[in-house]
Structure 1
Amino acid sequence: MQEALATGPGPAWPGCAKIDRGLRKPRLRASDPLIISAAIMASRTPEDAIVQARRPLSPHLQIYRWYASMMMSILHRATGIALSVALLLLVWWLVALASGPDAFERVHSLAGSWFGLLVMFGITVAWAYHLLNGIRHLAWDAGYGFHPAQFRRTGMIVAVGTGVLTVLVWIAFLIAR
């Protein structure tokens, strides 16, 4: 016979379950949330279980208050993705360099156009932000910077440092050019 979880007058402690050997239909009481969760999740989809157990659904993004730390976390991930795409552009440049002067000239002329310079500027911003925020994450891994005041201060340092580092890199680039 199929065993099911049920509660009844038998358990010595509240919230404990006894095994129903199939002699009667399992009964679930609202006072036993763990038993309800186990029984509902075993027989239905997760969405049905949430509705059955009368649990709140996860809030949508419109409900959240956007904090600077939330935005910085999202930007850190986005800059990581952008740097992965930039790595593909670097590989394209290296393949063109190995392919000969005609292929290299095409890539070099595209990189020197206003669009190419704009892309390289964006890559520089992504690199600077990801670098500085990565250092911030290393400090967190060491256990530093979790106080809310330190959290905000290091976030501001990363934001301002990104701008300063980007400008310094581009000044060096323009001087070397």
Structure 2
Amino acid sequence: MTDATRAPRERPLSPHTSIWRWHITMAASIATRITGVGLYLGALILAAWAISLASGPEAYATFKGVMGSFLGKVVLFGMTLSFFYHLAAGVRHIVWDLGHALTVRQANAFSVASFAFAGAATIAVWVIAGLIGAL
């Protein structure tokens, strides 16, 4: 064997680093995955809520204190945004599975609409929660 055969070979980079460019449907796809993970983490918060509720008033008061803090509200806001975005992305995928909105222009518009819906619905829920004193 020569030294050339022992040396590590130059491997090509993944195609995405050289030919893909960012576009809205790519961002929407990535956001769908991120919000899915966020919803799994939110299920842990929901489980913690149920456990604290079953553990008695002191545990529940502690849970409410944590989730009522600024950081807790930021997490809950992110969860709300994740929920509504993931909902919109699911509808988008159902429409695509039915064979509609598959042109680039329509797919881009649907992706923008998914982000817009998530933002508007999240803000609406938090405004209503503030108005009824739930915050």
| Aligned length, in residue pairs | 125
Q: TM-score, normalised by structure 2?
A: 0.85
2:129 partner amino acid = F
Q: TM-score, normalised by structure 1?
A: 0.66
Aligned to 1:144: 100
Q: Which runs of 4+ in 1 moved over 6 A?
A: none
Aligned to 1:62: 17
Within 5 A, what are the aligned runs for 1:125-140?
125-140=81-96
Q: Provide the C-alpha distance between the structure 2 equivalents of 1:141 and 1:58, rounded to a whole number of angstroms.
A: 32
List runs of 5+ in structure 2 lacking aligned partners: 1-8
Aligned to 2:37: 81
> In the TM superposition, what is the alpha-carbon distance from 1:61 to its structure 2 partner?
4.5
Q: Provide the C-alpha distance between the structure 2 equivalents of 1:72 and 1:153, rounded to a whole number of angstroms.
A: 11
Which of 154, 157, 160 is the aligned partner of 2:116? 160
Q: Provide the C-alpha distance between the structure 2 equivalents of 1:91 and 1:71, rounded to a whole number of angstroms.
A: 30
Matched, 1:104 2:60: yes
Paired residues of 2:49 and 2:63 also in contact (CA < 8 A): yes
> In the TM superposition, what is the alpha-carbon distance from 1:148 to its structure 2 partner?
1.2
SS of the residue aligned with 2:26? helix
Higher helix share goes to which structure? 2
* RMSD, matched Cα: 1.9
Paired residues of 2:24 and 2:112 also in contact (CA < 8 A): no
Structure with larger RCO (C-alpha < 8 A, sep 6+): 2
> In the TM superposition, what is the alpha-carbon distance from 1:57 to its structure 2 partner?
3.6
List runs of 5+ in structure 1 lacking aligned partners: 1-47
> In the TM superposition, what is the alpha-carbon distance from 1:71 to its structure 2 partner?
1.3
